[in-house]
């Protein structure tokens, strides 16, 4: 048996957004905010919202079906399903197991991964190890979020920021020198308090009191997360580029986490990339946590902004605090 590691790439990609769109103008009627504040402070103009009866697994399932089709892969060929999410359908079973059932991937193992908005990069990193060693051939990595379900719709600090959606990728072997060239993950638990859903777990179980106090909704210290994000986006991107063996000048396209246009612009500036080389969709989708990066990647590929052979940097940060980055030489 050879010790040589397989090259690993994205064989197919897909995304799904629920139909309903909530504009800033509509949010103006819900909380004390203005379209002007939201656009100038964040860049967000609208977000998609899942129906009452739609959970993260439903969004994930639709995205997974599209990725399978794009990869020309049957559900039975999938060895593992990883769903990165902070809004699982329930504590257990995992959302990944529900997706496994929904798509009929009966040969797949399945688990959820909790790394906040960095979840998709974390998932890709995990998948890469299994494919590299030859243990698995095809892995579905999905970022899926129904964040509208865990927002406090009376808190203007958070409810204007987030949206629902899912993106999925089929990960498998590719040609030498192509595909996922590097990944980098990091965490800082000290900053966990800045972005959290405190209630509903084993620390603060759901009680009438905890629900009344809305402890099952997102709490965020926006300016602390902002400072961290600006710092980490640049550092994490640079680290992934260094590990890839390429340099900054070689990068063709940046697919960043979609939290705030000011954070993205700061990262692009430090990386000396003009904004037409940076994917931005938060104006239409808001921040979809673990779904933001795969949805943006799917869109960029479909719009022809990423072509075979292009060097793409993906970078994200989020609850944990966590961060993750990756350089891909697009192999499709």
Q: Is 331 designated active site?
A: no
Beta carbons of 76 and 100 less than 8 angstroms apart: no
| Tokens standing for residue 108 | 């797949």
Stretch that binds ligand UT7, among 45-53, 86-94, 155-163, 173-181 (CB under 6 A): 155-163
- Where residue 184 falls (left for φ over 0; alpha for ψ -120 to 50; beta otherwise) is beta
Span of 48-56, 62-70, 145-153, 225-233 interacting with ligand UT7 by CB under 6 A: 225-233
Binding of residue 234 to ligand UT7 (CB under 6 A): no
- The answer to whether 318 contacts ligand UT7 (rule: CB under 6 A) is yes
Q: Which is nearer to ligand UT7, 23 or 133 (CB)?
A: 23
User: Is 322 one of the binding residues for ligand UT7 (CB under 6 A)?
Assistant: no
257, 260, 279, 331: which one is catalytic? 257
Query: CA-to-CA distance for 113 and 119, rounded, in angstroms?
Result: 7
What distance in Å separates the CA atoms of residue 101 and residue 95, rounded to the nearest whole number? 10
Using CB under 6 A, which of 33, 234, 252, 283 touches ligand UT7? 33
Give the interface segment with ligand UT7, choosing from 12-20, 156-164, 171-179, 296-304 (CB under 6 A): 156-164
Query: For the residues of 189-226, what is the DSSP string, one character each?
Result: GGGGGGEE--SSSSSS---HHHHHTTTTS-EE-HHHHH
Q: Is 287 a catalytic residue?
A: yes
159 is catalytic: no
Cβ proximity to ligand UT7, 110 vs 290, nearer residue? 290
d(CA 117, CA 317): 6
Beta-strand runs (E) in the chain: 8-16, 20-23, 46-49, 80-84, 109-113, 139-146, 164-173, 179-187, 195-196, 219-220, 253-256, 311-318, 322-329
Closest C-alpha to 200, from 187, 218, 225, 220 = 218
Per CB under 6 A, the segment of 139-147, 166-174, 217-225, 240-248 that binds ligand UT7 is 217-225
Among all chains, which residue has been given the structure tokens 């949010």? Answer: 27
**CB-wise, 14 or 256, nearer to ligand UT7?**
256
Taking CB under 6 A as the rule, does residue 195 contact ligand UT7? yes
Residue 151 Cβ, how far from ligand UT7 at the closest point, in Å?
A: 12
Question: Does 156 help bind ligand UT7 (rule: CB under 6 A)?
Answer: yes
Residue 158 beta carbon to ligand UT7: minimum distance, rounded to whole angstroms: 8
Q: Residue 174 corresponds to which tokens in the numbers above?
A: 């590719």
**Window 112-151: contact mask with ligand UT7 (x via CB under 6 A):** -----x----------------------------------
For position 29 contacting ligand UT7 by CB under 6 A, the verdict is: no
Q: Rule CB under 6 A: is residue 226 a binding residue for ligand UT7?
A: yes
Q: Which of 229, 233, 251, 297 binds ligand UT7 (CB under 6 A)?
A: 229
Residue 71 touching ligand UT7 (CB under 6 A) = no
Query: Which string of b and e fits 118-146 if b means at least 16 CB within 10 Å?
Result: bbbbbbbbbbbebbbeeebbbbbbbbbbb
- Name the β-bridge partners of 168: 14, 142
Residue 160's contacts (CB-CB under 8 Å, 6 or more residues apart) are 24, 27, 31, 33, 38, 42, 44
Yes or no: say if 49 and 30 are a contact pair by the CB < 8 Å rule: no
In contact, 289 and 121? CB cutoff 8 Å: no
Q: Give how many residues touch ligand UT7 by CB under 6 A.
A: 20
Active site residues: 117, 257, 287
Residues that bind ligand UT7 (CB under 6 A): 33, 37-38, 41-42, 117, 156-157, 160, 195, 220, 222-223, 225-226, 229, 259-260, 287, 318
């Amino acid at each position: 048996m050879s010790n040589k590691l397989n090259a690993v790439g994205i064989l197919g990609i897909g995304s799904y957004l629920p139909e309903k769109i909530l504009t800033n103008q509509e949010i103006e009627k819900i909380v004390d905010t203005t379209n002007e504040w939201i656009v100038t402070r964040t860049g967000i103009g609208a977000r998609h919202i899942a129906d009452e009866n739609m959970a993260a697994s439903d969004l994930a399932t639709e995205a997974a079906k599209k990725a399978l089709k794009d990869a020309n892969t049957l559900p039975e060929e999938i060895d593992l399903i990883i769903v990165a999410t902070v809004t699982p359908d329930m504590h257990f079973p995992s959302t990944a197991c529900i997706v496994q059932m929904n798509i009929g991937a009966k040969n797949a193992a399945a688990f959820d991964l909790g790394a906040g908005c960095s979840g998709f990069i974390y998932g890709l990193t995990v998948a890469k190890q299994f494919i590299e060693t030859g243990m698995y051939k095809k892995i579905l990595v999905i970022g899926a979020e129904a964040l509208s379900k865990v927002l406090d719709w009376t808190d203007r600090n958070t409810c204007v920021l987030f949206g629902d959606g899912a993106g999925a990728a089929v990960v498998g072997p590719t040609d030498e020198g192509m595909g996922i060239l590097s990944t980098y993950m990091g965490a800082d638990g000290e900053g966990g308090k800045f972005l959290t859903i405190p209630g509903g777990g084993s620390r603060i179980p759901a009680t009438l009191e905890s629900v009344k106090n809305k402890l099952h909704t997102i709490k965020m210290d926006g300016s602390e997360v902002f400072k961290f994000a600006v710092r980490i986006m640049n550092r994490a991107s640079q680290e992934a580029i260094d590990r890839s063996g390429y340099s900054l000048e070689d990068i063709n396209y940046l697919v960043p986490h979609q939290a705030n246009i000011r954070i993205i612009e700061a990262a692009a500036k430090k990386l000396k990339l003009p904004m037409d080389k940076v994917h931005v969709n938060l104006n239409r989708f808001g921040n979809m946590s673990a779904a933001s990066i795969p949805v943006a990647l799917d869109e960029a590929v479909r719009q022809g902004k990423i072509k075979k052979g292009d060097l793409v940097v993906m970078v994200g940060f989020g609850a944990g605090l966590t961060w993750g980055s990756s350089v891909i030489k697009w192999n499709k």
